[in-house]
Amino acid sequence: MSDKMKIVAAQEAIKNVKDKMKLGLGTGSTVNEFLKILSEKVKGGLDIVGVVTSEKTRVLSENLGIPLTSLSTVKSLDLTIDGADEIDSDLSLIKGGGGALLREKIVAYNSKKLIIIADKSKIVSKLGDFTLPIEVSSYEHEVTSSRIMRKLESIGYEGSIKLRLINDSIFVTDGGNLIYDLSIGLISEPYIVEQLLNSIPGVFENGLFINLTDHVIIGEEEGVKIIKK
Ligand code: 5RP
């Protein structure tokens, strides 16, 4: 997505932010554009407080002067703004390309509203072209990854699973866990796959976000498109 489309989506998203709101702050390059705009509003007197979904977002937010708190302090959030890797027509998502899916899902789940900002390349008819990230415990993770494949095969999916590496080193999440990226083709029943994956000991979360999104703001060459359920 060009920076311009990210900025346009972020500019539309900021219209949903009101004084005194408690905000969930997602992760990724699109959210980074939102944080820059939010910081300008804060400097102009907007009174909000944010809960971050990653250490990257924390560092940028702190540098931009956005006041932060924790979810346990505020208990629940009014609104979360986040990005996505894929969005289907039910507004179900694949997230976790940036490796922050566990914290992103905790924050989204505890937010009254979730708005996704993205470009139109993220819209798909069915989820699954993008690999599905799964956050697992590092303890005996190879066993967990075999279990994941066997469970999926038992409901008719085939494919491959790969431990995420960054520059040939194992990628470690902010929570100290590992990510496996799963390729099983198009996912016809995202809800069933989400539940099945999360039933396996060793799996902390997966990147399927079902029934969490309120609306999606798509940045386009000529303005924005808003998709509601
Ligand atoms: C991080 C995410 C991101 O929201 C997702 O990868 C989209 O990122 P970007 O805005 O850079 O395309 O889920 O875990």
Per-residue pLDDT tens digits for 47-100: 999 999 999 999 999 999 999 999 999 999 999 999 999 999 999 999 999 999
62 assigned to active site = no
Best residue among 95, 106, 122, 164 to mutate for probing ligand 1's pocket (most ligand atoms within 8 Å of CB) is 95
Task: Compute the distance between CA of residue 28 and CA of residue 98 in angstroms, rounded to an integer.
Answer: 6
Task: Compute the distance between CA of residue 171 and CA of residue 178 in angstroms, rounded to an integer.
Answer: 6
Pocket of ligand 1 (CB under 6 A): 26-30, 82-85, 95-101, 104
Name the residue with the closest Cα to ligand 1, atom 6: 97
Name the residue with the closest Cα to ligand 1, atom 5: 84
Write down the H helix ranges in 14-164: 29-43, 55-64, 71-74, 101-109, 141-154
Per-residue pLDDT tens digits for 7-50: 999 999 999 999 999 999 999 999 999 999 999 999 999 999 99
CA of 154 to the centre of ligand 1 (A): 30
In order of 6, 52, 88, 108, 198, the CA distances from 102 in angstroms are 23, 12, 20, 10, 12
The pLDDT value given to residue 112? 98
CA of 185 to the centre of ligand 1 (A): 20
Per-residue pLDDT tens digits for 192-212: 999 999 999 999 999 999 999
Burial pattern 151-175, b for ≥16 Cβ within 10 A else e, equals: bbeeeebeeebeebeeeeeeeebbe
pLDDT surpassing 70 at residue 1 = no
In the chain, the domains with their CATH numbers are 3-124+210-224 (3.40.50.1360), 132-206 (3.30.70.260)
∠ CA 194-147-193 to the nearest 5 degrees? 15
Per-residue pLDDT tens digits for 153-165: 999 999 999 999 9
Per-residue pLDDT tens digits for 110-123: 999 999 999 989 99
Name the residue with the closest Cα to ligand 1, atom 10: 30
Which entry of 12, 33, 86, 104 is annotated as an active-site residue?
104
Entry pTM: 0.97
